Amino acid sequence: MAQERTPQPKIVQFEGLGPGFWPVTIFLFAVSVALALYWCFGNIDWLMPGWEHPLTDRTADIDDLVKFMSVFASAIMVFVTGYVVYFVIAFRARPGQSADTIGVPVHDSPKLEFWWTILPSALLAVLSAWSIVVWYKIYFGTSAPALTAEVVAHQFYFEVRYPGLKTGVATNSEPMHLPVGVPIRLLVTSADVIHQFWVPEIRLKTAGVPGLVQNLNFTADHTGTYDITCTEFCGAGHSVMQGKIVFDQVPAFNTWLNDKKKSEAAAAAPINLASGDKAAGQALFAQKCSACHNNPPTPFDQKLVGPGLLHITDDPAHPNLVTGKPPTPQNIAWILQNGFTGSIGTMPNRQANGLSDTDIANLVAYLTSLK
């Protein structure tokens, strides 16, 4: 009985690694060296702004790590794509070869397999060890902090709490300040959803996670004003969750902090509500409040983000404010000053909303007139 045979593909034997393999290898090596020199000594301001004068001690660590990674990543990219292109050209189909022609099947090359396992492993081991050392310095600090500030992320601003200040600095309405030349510790967390605190110029970044406090330790070297941005999608206002950070010399920082303490003491004083102007309050309501409260004001249960504020002093459907007694103008002023957190939502305080004493008196005059 005649046996059926599966047709075998024709195998073409090539000479070694192909014509021009070693010149191509030398060329790829030269390109890799040129890129490595660029990463180490070139102007990489487009990628890492301020790389020439790192803003903090940890910035320099991160930059070195990024340069190390870039040197090897660009070499790997050059060799992998370079050889792919070279082999595609060197072992292309030639005229006269049938369609089922293939190259030499290669199985097992212990020497190659040894090196392509050892080299990437060694590279990753170095990268891991180096990263852990840098991370350790960022997370635990290299010396006891001279200033510890708390960064609490909110939808959609960062609140920075300083020692001796009762209310935090809200980065959507004013810049946060830090002194240069002394060790700083930032304790980062969140009051609502997951955010990400990032100052690109100092490279340092950490997630603000509800219920978790994470550290950033560093010493800044240069004064200046830089951007803060949230880099974790956290809701409709994520794209506007930005602010400024100002690095001051220590005396300037102390002056700023003392001024904050003084204005806080002044702000805590009771506000004279008698001078409130209803019309000015109405204009201000449209400007500052209408993002979260219906304008014109609606009954309490018609929510936008916050409740409707019509009949604020005599609406029986107002469960949190009306605790048996109708709220007084002072109650309303207190919420405008201090903000509110409860089952019906969260309202930022006067600092976050940028409200002066006069603004609060005007808003109270307007809201209490809605009966």
* Residues at the interface with ligand CUA (CB under 6 A): 153, 156, 195, 230, 232-234, 238, 241
Tell me whether residue 86 or residue 156 sits nearer to ligand CUA (CB atom). Answer: 156
Q: Kindly state the smallest distance separating residue 236's Cβ from ligand CUA, in Å.
A: 10
Q: Kindly state the smallest distance separating residue 56's Cβ from ligand CUA, in Å.
A: 23
Q: Kindly state the smallest distance separating residue 273's Cβ from ligand CUA, in Å.
A: 35
Q: Kindly state the smallest distance separating residue 337's Cβ from ligand CUA, in Å.
A: 25
Number of H helices, E strands in the chain: 8, 12
Tell me whether residue 209 or residue 335 sits nearer to ligand CUA (CB atom). Answer: 209
Tell me whether residue 62 or residue 230 sits nearer to ligand CUA (CB atom). Answer: 230
Tell me whether residue 172 or residue 362 sits nearer to ligand CUA (CB atom). Answer: 172
Burial status of residue 366 (CB atoms within 10 A of its CB: 0-12, 13-18, 19 or more): buried
**Phi, psi at 118, each rounded to 5°:** -65, -45
Q: Kindly state the smallest distance separating residue 30's Cβ from ligand CUA, in Å.
A: 44
CB 215 within 8 A of CB 231: no
CB 273 within 8 A of CB 333: yes
Q: Kindly state the smallest distance separating residue 238's Cβ from ligand CUA, in Å.
A: 4
Q: Kindly state the smallest distance separating residue 220's Cβ from ligand CUA, in Å.
A: 23
Tell me whether residue 230 or residue 333 sits nearer to ligand CUA (CB atom). Answer: 230
Q: 16 by DSSP, 3-state: which?
A: coil
Q: What distance in Å separates the CA atoms of residue 127 and residue 125, rounded to the nearest whole number?
A: 5
Q: Distance of CA 136 to CAs 46, 129, 133, Å?
A: 28, 11, 5
Amino acid at site 271: I
Tell me whether residue 202 or residue 234 sits nearer to ligand CUA (CB atom). Answer: 234
Q: Distance of CA 252 to CAs 178, 247, 255, 262, Å?
A: 10, 9, 5, 15
CB 215 within 8 A of CB 188: yes
Tell me whether residue 238 or residue 260 sits nearer to ligand CUA (CB atom). Answer: 238
Residue 185, token pair as written in the block:
């510790």
